[in-house]
Amino acid sequence: MGPKDRSVDGPSPIDTAGERSLTFCNRQGERGSKMLEATAAGIVITGREHEGLCRDLGGRTFVLVDDPRLAFARVLDRYFSVSWPAGISDDARVSEDAIIGKEVHIGPFCAVGRDVIIGDGSRLEGSVTVHDGVTIGRNVIIRAGAVIGTDGFGFNRNEAGALEKFPQVGGVVIEDDVEIGSNVCVARGTMADTRIGRGTKIDNLVQVAHNVQIGEDGLITSMVWLGGSVRIGDRCWLSPMVSVLNGVCIGDDVTVAMGSSVIRDVPSGQFVAGNPARPTIRKE
């Protein structure tokens, strides 16, 4: 809607955008209307409910879509994303036994151990450590400082009361399209593999203990702690500072509110909150 030959220099927030900027408005109702009226952006991606207002405003180009945030993200990815060149930094250390796929980026000061597999198009930013026997799928992003495949925290007390280590001989499997944030630690399994399912995104500063199984397309936000042998289903959202007790099973499509402590199994479709976490609203 509006001029179709308009060009822009780049994206900007809606409140600071100028006439050569691209932006989006994800707000509905009166608040969204006020944002659209106030912005000076040359091109605005917004929801279809604002069609009447956009016709009245004129002078700018409006792109009406069902999901403005998603559409804007796709435009950013196609036209403005930073590219990472394929190759291995001279400052990285990669074992001769590792299998590295096509178009993989391994940044400076990374360490990749023996028998590691890294799939096509994956990216390890600076100072990532990947221990022996880890499998990383295609198009995986692991951000700076993450440690993948370290030993899990397992000990037994012997007859004298001293601690003896329980050997951790499993591995880690990271499936395709996973993103792992900075300073995340993913421990190897005790015997079976720790596994992170396809498409799951893990924020910075998350602890994933040994034997954890995370399903597909989940969101694990900053400072989450997952105890040993935790099971998390598909499409779950764990808010910041959530802790999940060893061995707890969380079903599919579960949301856990900020700061909650999950000490019991959670059925699919629940919204849980509190310490200990309790169901509050059943998701539709």
What is the rounded CA–CA span in Å between residue 217 and residue 176? Answer: 11
Compute CA distances 210 → 53, 191, 231, whole Å: 54, 9, 11
Burial class (CB in 10 A: 0-12, 13-18, 19+), 246: middle
Alpha-carbon distance of 65 to 48, in angstroms, equals 6
Q: Would you give the DSSP letter of residue 266?
A: B
Sign of CA dihedral 14, 24, 237, 257: positive
CA gap 186, 242 in Å, rounded: 16
* Angle, CA 138 vertex, CA 193 and CA 186 arms, to 5°: 35
Per-residue DSSP letters for 175-209?
-TT-EE-TT-EEEPPSSSPEEE-TT-EE-SS-EE-
210 is catalytic: yes
CB atoms within 10 A of CB 275: 11
DSSP conformation class of 75? H
The Cα diameter of the chain in Å comes to: 82
Q: Which residues does residue 213 pair with via DSSP β-bridges, in sequence order?
A: 195, 231
Q: Do strands 43-47 and 61-65 pair parallel, antiparallel, or not at all (unpaired)?
A: parallel
Catalytic residue list:
210
